[in-house]
Amino acid sequence: MVLYNRQNRIIGKKATKKRKGLKAVLFDLDWNPLPDKSGDSIEVQGDHELIPKPVNLNEMIRVCKILSKPFPQLRVDLYEVNGRIYFGELTFTPGEINLTFTSEYSLELGRKIDLSKVKRRKRKLIV
């Protein structure tokens, strides 16, 4: 997913509502747009032609596969600037799930997560 026009984010209580100006385009691994998979709280753009395919997309996908391998689900944020790849962050949630994807697509993604090898915690963490 490519998010852009992020400088117009709404901070505070209203952040869970539609974010003014934030625009998104969701792509598959072959850089085909998937407008029907994006949540309706983000303005989905039909102007996906304006988002060029990263020059280093294959390398970015390779890096994501390596970094995410030990986890059942992980979002890897990478950025390409002037032909160079930069690391952003790793996180265990794909953004604000109900804002990012449709409910149907969230369920579809969830069915693909294999939790059979995840060890269950026996003690609760006290913070």
Provide the mean pLDDT of the chain.
Answer: 76
- Residue 97 confidence (pLDDT): 46
Higher pLDDT, 121 or 51: 51
pTM, to two decimals = 0.66
Q: Quick check: 83 pLDDT over 50?
A: yes
- Residue 99 confidence (pLDDT): 56
Higher pLDDT, 4 or 88: 88
In this structure, the strands spanning 23-25 and 43-44 are parallel
Mean pLDDT of 59-87: 92
Higher pLDDT, 98 or 112: 112
Question: In sequence order, what are the residues at sequence separation of 6 or more whose Cβ sits closer than 8 angstroms to the Cβ of residue 78?
Answer: 60, 63, 64, 85, 86, 87, 88
- Contact yes or no for 27/2 (Cβ under 8 A): yes
Question: In sequence order, what are the residues at sequence separation of 6 or more whose Cβ sits closer than 8 angstroms to the Cβ of residue 18?
Answer: 41, 42, 43
